[in-house]
Amino acid sequence: MVVGSVALDTVKTPLGRGKEVLGGSATYFSISASFFNPVNLVAVVGSDFPSRHLQTLKKQGVDLGGLLVEKGKTFRWDGEYGWDFADPKTLSTCLNVFSKFNPQIPREYKKSKYLFLANIDPQIQEKVLKQVNPKLVACDTMNYWIQNKRNHLLRLLNKVDIFLLNESELRLLTHQNSIVKAAKELTRLGPEIVIVKKGEHGSLLFCDRYMFSIPAFLLESVVDPTGAGDTFAGGVIGYLAQCNKFTPLNFKRALVYGAVMATFAVEDFSVKRLLAINRRDINRRFKQFQALSCF
């Protein structure tokens, strides 16, 4: 189960433009995770949300029983990337129906064993946690919540098993310069596992007993990095749910599957590329990753 946003994104990159395309953290996560395990989606859209997008998600095996359609407009984000494809410039954010998002977990979702709390207000993430009791809880966040709802976020982290964040969020949260020290500090705040997303530089995993360092997959060209982090999380949690057993090797491979899914996501606008691949493509890229980095 994933709780997060489903949005319509307008994205400009040096290589093109996507206008009101399917986006949102829960969208990227669920399409990515759907290659490994069935996904239950909890989110809200407006009455203007194109029904073809609903069909797309359903066809991918994403259950929409938790997707509320409310009167009003769907969450819209408008952003632009420069040549470095780093942090985009946000041109506008219209929360619309998402501003009153109050997730109610359908009864049939309560048996979900794996939960991903995508980047939303930590108070809402906590409200979700009160309604369920999964085997594993993973969560994401963003600079805004670290700066403006720090205490709520810290309280939430106490109830989370896996915390995913990027380097700048890690530094902002811990005021530590050393990534290793910062991540270890975070594991003492609740999450057994801290995963640090480094974008084109790979990812790191920290827990009490071990650390992993996964290099970047080498892509010749990136078209649109939107959703890479949520797609990564979808691969990580989807693969863990598929294994349903928490060994060090499974965690390591989960990171690699996360990276593999993210490489597909950035090869085209919106979820276009993710919808065009199959499990064989994923396995092929996993093997390429092995050839690239194992010694």
List residues near a copy of itself by CB under 8 A: 83-84, 177-181, 198, 200-202, 204, 210-222, 249, 252-253, 256, 290-295
Smallest distance, Å, CB 178 to a copy of itself?
A: 6
Phi first, then psi: what are they for 90, rounded to 5°? -80, 120
Nearest approach, Cβ of 222 to a copy of itself (angstroms)?
Answer: 8
Rg (CA), the chain: 18
Rounded to a whole number of angstroms, the minimum distance from the CB of residue 270 to a copy of itself is 21
- Judge whether 73 and 97 are in contact, CB under 8 Å: yes
Assess contact for 273 and 267: CB atoms under 8 A: yes
The nearer residue to a copy of itself, 177 or 278, going by C-beta atoms, is 177
- Nearest CA to 275 out of 214, 220, 227 is that of 227
Short-list 127, 142, 172, CA closest to 25: 142
- Report the nearest approach of a copy of itself to the CB of residue 184 (Å): 8
53 versus 197: smaller Cβ distance to a copy of itself: 197
Nearer to a copy of itself, 187 or 293 (CB): 293
Taking the CA atoms of 104, 106, 110 and 112 in sequence, report the sign of the dihedral they define: negative
Nearer to a copy of itself, 118 or 222 (CB): 222
* Separation between Cα atoms, residue 122 and residue 47, nearest integer Å: 26
Nearer to a copy of itself, 216 or 243 (CB): 216
- For a copy of itself, the closer of residues 208 and 220 by Cβ is 220
Give CB contacts under 8 A, 24+ apart, made by 279-283: 279/35, 282/35, 282/257
Rounded to a whole number of angstroms, the minimum distance from the CB of residue 38 to a copy of itself is: 25
As measured in angstroms, the least distance from the Cβ of 219 to a copy of itself is 7
User: Could you give the angle at which helices 248-265 and 279-293 cross, rounded to 10 degrees?
Assistant: 110
Distance CA 225, CA 68 (A): 27
> Minimum distance between the CB of residue 114 and a copy of itself, rounded to whole angstroms?
21
In the complex with a copy of itself, the residue whose CB is nearer, 89 or 201, is: 201
Q: Would you tell me how many other CB atoms lie within 10 Å of the CB of residue 104? A: 12
